[in-house]
Amino acid sequence: MIQLNAEQIRDFRGCRYLYKAKHIDKIVQKHYVNERDLLPSQFEDAIKKTIKYFYFEAMNKNIVSYKDLQKKFERLWLKEKTVKDIISDENTPQKNVHHFTTEGIKVVYDFYKVNHKNPGEVLLLSEDYSVPITKNVIINGNIDIALNKNGKIILPIYTTKGKAYFSEGNEGYYKIVLDAIAFKYKTDLDINNVSIISFKGGGYKQDDIVIDKLKVRQLKEVVEEIYECKRFLPNHDYYWCKNCSMDKYCSTW
């Protein structure tokens, strides 16, 4: 039996050699990451936690005020500073922090406007899963939120990433299929689509992606292929190699 998550499946599909180096041999390649590159993921994390806070309170029949929600975002995103500090400081050297802060305020406002009157019923919140999907493979992951809204089950994924991240072959795609399978396993409720709610560029855009039987069957075939794989040959594909964290290790090979 093996255990897999979305990143591992994505890596295997992209390059089997990369998959083996990272996830079986556990070779860690250190890359210098500057603070600027970390901002989008820190921003996404702060927005997600703000939204989870809203739903956590909603589960307890408490609809927080917009002001509370904005304060929560401020605390998560800016730590000791306030939005006012950042926005009023036009000369801040951290232009990106300024940019994300104004974007975040807009996202929180848009989220609140759409959801505060009808948050829906929270079915799952921050739910880790470890679920067998074939006789040889367990999938691991986390469902942020699952809702029953107006009789429709929704698995919203709040993200700063665009739609392309969720197209087939990318990590986002495997995550949403895994989440849908795990949701069905945990609740025994059917789910047909996952809603990608992207706040890229400060907007609030929802795209529903259908998770049909074919996608589930293909995913199960891939995980079985990983289980059975004996030869992990490098792919040497331009797209993969130029972004690969194992390039140094691999070229030595």
Q: How far is the CB of 108 from ligand SF4 (least distance, A)?
A: 38
Q: Is 224 an interacting residue with respect to ligand SF4 (CB under 6 A)?
A: no
Q: Is 58 an interacting residue with respect to ligand SF4 (CB under 6 A)?
A: no
Contact window for ligand SF4 (CB under 6 A) among 42-50, 111-119, 208-216, 244-252: 244-252
Report the residue number, 22 or 161, with the smaller CB distance to ligand SF4. Answer: 22
Judged by CB under 6 A, the residue of 4, 47, 133, 246 near ligand SF4 is: 246
CA pair distance 23, 246, nearest whole angstrom: 12
Q: Is 240 an interacting residue with respect to ligand SF4 (CB under 6 A)?
A: yes
Rg, the chain, Cα only? 20
Q: Is 17 an interacting residue with respect to ligand SF4 (CB under 6 A)?
A: yes
Q: Is 77 an interacting residue with respect to ligand SF4 (CB under 6 A)?
A: no
- Three-state secondary structure string covering the chain: CEEECHHHHHHHHHCHHHHHHHHHCCCCCCCCCCHHHHHHHHHHHHHHHHHHHHHHHHHCCCCCCHHHHHHHHHHHHHCCCCHHHHHHCCCCCCHHHHHHHHHHHHHHHHHHHHHCCCCCEEEEEEEEEEEECCCCEEEEEEEEEEEEECCEEECEEEECCCHHHHCCCCHHHHHHHHHHHHHHHHHCCCCCEEEEEECHHHCCEEEEEECCHHHHHHHHHHHHHHHHCCCCCCCCCHHHHHCCCCHHHHHHC
Judged by CB under 6 A, the residue of 127, 207, 224, 247 near ligand SF4 is: 247
Question: Number of residues in contact with ligand SF4, rule: CB under 6 A?
Answer: 12
Q: Is 143 an interacting residue with respect to ligand SF4 (CB under 6 A)?
A: no
Q: Is 250 an interacting residue with respect to ligand SF4 (CB under 6 A)?
A: yes
Q: What sign does the CA torsion over 69, 75, 77, 81 have?
A: positive
Report the residue number, 17 or 77, with the smaller CB distance to ligand SF4. Answer: 17
Q: How far is the CB of 36 from ligand SF4 (least distance, A)?
A: 24
Give 125's contacts (C-beta < 8 A, 6+ positions apart).
52, 55, 56, 59, 144, 145, 146
Report the residue number, 155 or 246, with the smaller CB distance to ligand SF4. Answer: 246
Judged by CB under 6 A, the residue of 42, 134, 140, 235 near ligand SF4 is: 235
Q: How far is the CB of 242 from ligand SF4 (least distance, A)?
A: 8
Judged by CB under 6 A, the residue of 4, 6, 9, 18 near ligand SF4 is: 18
Report the residue number, 6 or 154, with the smaller CB distance to ligand SF4. Answer: 6
Binding site for ligand SF4 (CB under 6 A): 15, 17-18, 234-236, 240-241, 244, 246-247, 250
